[in-house]
């Protein structure tokens, strides 16, 4: 006969909760760090690509990617040409309740326009 009493015992439930809750926080914290690094890399590549295209093609370039907020600046160089500077701001979405740090990311990129 199959005994149902073995399923009703609570041995081990408290210990698994004590282990699982910190593991969930650890997993979410690592996921938060990984997503922040990924957002930083994507933002840096987009801003650098946009500024490089502006410097190579002298002006606005038709975009294939969705538009994003990019502030462009230009400084004239003494020997001719311009130093182009791009700044973009992004926000990080907190995943973990332990992620109470900075959620604002500012990315800067430069390129030299020799014309």
pLDDT band at 62 (very low <50, low <70, confident <90, very high): low
Higher pLDDT, 113 or 8: 113
What three-state secondary structure class fits 78?
A: coil
Angle at 94 between CA 91 and CA 99, to 5 degrees: 115
- Mean pLDDT score across all residues of the chain: 79
N- to C-terminal Cα separation, the chain: 89
Contact present, 81 and 113 (Cβ < 8 Å):
yes
pLDDT band at 61 (very low <50, low <70, confident <90, very high): low
1-44, pLDDT tens digit by residue? Answer: 556 666 666 666 677 778 888 898 888 888 888 888 888 898 88
For the chain, the domains span: 12-113
pLDDT for the residue numbered 3: 62
67-76, pLDDT tens digit by residue? Answer: 667 788 888 9
């Amino acid at each position: 006969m199959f005994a149902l009493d073995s399923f009703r015992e609570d041995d081990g439930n408290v210990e698994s909760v004590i282990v699982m809750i910190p593991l969930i926080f650890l997993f979410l914290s690592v996921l938060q760090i990984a997503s922040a690094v990924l957002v930083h890399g994507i933002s840096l590549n987009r801003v650098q690509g946009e500024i490089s295209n502006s410097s190579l093609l002298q002006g606005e370039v038709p975009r294939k990617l969705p538009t994003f907020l990019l502030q462009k600046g230009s400084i004239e160089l003494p020997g001719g040409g311009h130093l182009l500077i791009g700044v973009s701001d992004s926000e990080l979405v907190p995943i973990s309740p332990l992620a109470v740090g900075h959620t604002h990311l500012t990315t800067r990129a430069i390129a030299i326009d020799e014309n």
